[in-house]
Amino acid sequence: GAVVSQHPSRVICKSGTSVKIECRSLDFQATTMFWYRQFPKQSLMLMATSNEGSKATYEQGVEKDKFLINHASLTLSTLTVTSAHPEDSSFYICSAIGVIRNTEAFFGQGTRLTVV
């Protein structure tokens, strides 16, 4: 099956710093990538939808200036958490839908962010 690689898998950062998370589709071109956040024992909450070459669409309540998303190519999307705070600590997961196999969505391994 298609592979989506997300990096890093785990990061600890100091409060006030920024963290960049990368999501790459390794063997297919991703027309759309989704970014989710998951708090313990809760479901995946969609943060934003990212289409290649255009601005991301953010869900209500998600600050676009805090969670910067860039989808510069059909194989790479990045999420930057700016000026991170402890309440941003969560599990961040990306998902990609392909150009041809657009009926399937594949997930990255997730990034566990801890802000101290």
Partner 1 sequence: QKEVEQNSGPLSVPEGAIASLNCTYSDRGSQSFFWYRQYSGKSPELIMFIYSNGDKEDGRFTAQLNKASQYVSLLIRDSQPSDSATYLCASVGGATNKLIFGTGTLLAVQP
Return residues touching partner 1 (CB under 8 A).
1, 6, 32, 34, 36, 42-44, 46, 49, 91, 93, 95, 97, 103-110, 112
To partner 1, the closest distance from the beta carbon of 62 in angstroms equals: 13
- Of 35 and 81, nearer to partner 1 (C-beta) is 35
Taken in order 33, 107, 103, 45, is the CA torsion positive or negative? negative
The CA-to-CA distance between both ends of the chain, in Å, stands at 37
Least Å from the CB of residue 42 to partner 1: 8
Helix, strand, or coil (residue 88) = helix
Phi, psi angle pair for 24, to nearest 5°: -125, 135
Nearest approach, Cβ of residue 96 and partner 1 (Å): 10
Looking at the Cβ atoms of 11 and 82, the one nearer to partner 1 is: 11
Task: Return the structure tokens found at 112.
Answer: 């566990």
